[in-house]
Chain A
Amino acid sequence: DAGITQSPRHKVTETGTPVTLRCHQTENHRYMYWYRQDPGHGLRLIHYSYGVKDTDKGEVSDGYSVSRSKTEDFLLTLESATSSQTSVYFCAISELRTQSGNGYTFGSGTRLTVV
């Protein structure tokens, strides 16, 4: 997807290990988001950022932390991976012009398996 890159694309990790997923954007958008996608649940917000060093929790934030030290990078860390965190993780960016929540641009996703 143009302007937004997620890495890695695939990862298998062991239970109890820390894992960091990276989202990098070249669009200079202010807002960045991490979602996870699971069958039957759709996309659920983990954390979001509304500026450098400004982050907040979403609806499924337990076990996750984030950091944003630069406009272009938003990192998601699983502090101690569990099997319930096996999922597809999507990063999204947005440049809101109104309070309407204009559409996102999503990355291609990271498929994470915790064994």
Chain B
Amino acid sequence: QKEVEQDPGPLSVPEGAIVSLNCTYSNSAFQYFMWYRQYSRKGPELLMYTYSSGNKEDGRFTAQVDKSSKYISLFIRDSQPSDSATYLCASPRKAGGTSYGKLTFGQGTILTVHP
């Protein structure tokens, strides 16, 4: 079982829709969670970064962590065609007391927003 699981989709929505992207994780030691956005043929870029449980909002994007159920979500409000990309969740892996920044990624969800 992968430590971070993500439904690869693909997910297709009309412009203006609310999008919900989700991941589950199995390692209780995970405390920090990130969402990356990756456009076609580009490297991933950091979108959101959260610690522990709760919500974090940045413009049209909201990241949510529920540690009790080991569930991570990214919500996109008023989705735009420019949001079409692959979205990856990630968390630092810990080994020997330090993670050295090593990240465990989900498989990524391909999102298409239609005009």
Which residues of A does B touch, CB under 8 Å? 1, 31, 33, 35, 40-45, 48, 50, 56, 58, 90, 92, 94, 96, 99-104, 106-109
- The number of A-B residue pairs with CB atoms under 8 Å apart is 72
> Once the chains are docked, how many angstroms separate the CA of A102 from the CA of B102?
10
Given the contacts A45-B102, A102-B101, A109 and B31 also touching, CB distance less than 8 Å = no
Q: Does B69 contact A (CB under 8 A)?
A: no
- A residues in contact with B49, CB < 8 Å: 102-103
Q: Do B41 and A103 touch (CB < 8 A)? A: no
Which 8 A-B pairs have CB atoms at the shortest separation, nearest pair first? A101-B92, A106-B43, A103-B46, A42-B107, A43-B105, A42-B105, A100-B32, A94-B101
- Asked whether, in the complex, the Cβ of A48 is within 8 Å of the Cβ of B100, the reply is yes
Of A41, A45, A99, A107, which contacts B103 at CB under 8 A? A45
Given A33-B101, A42-B6, A50-B100: A100 and B88 interface contact (C-beta under 8 Å): no
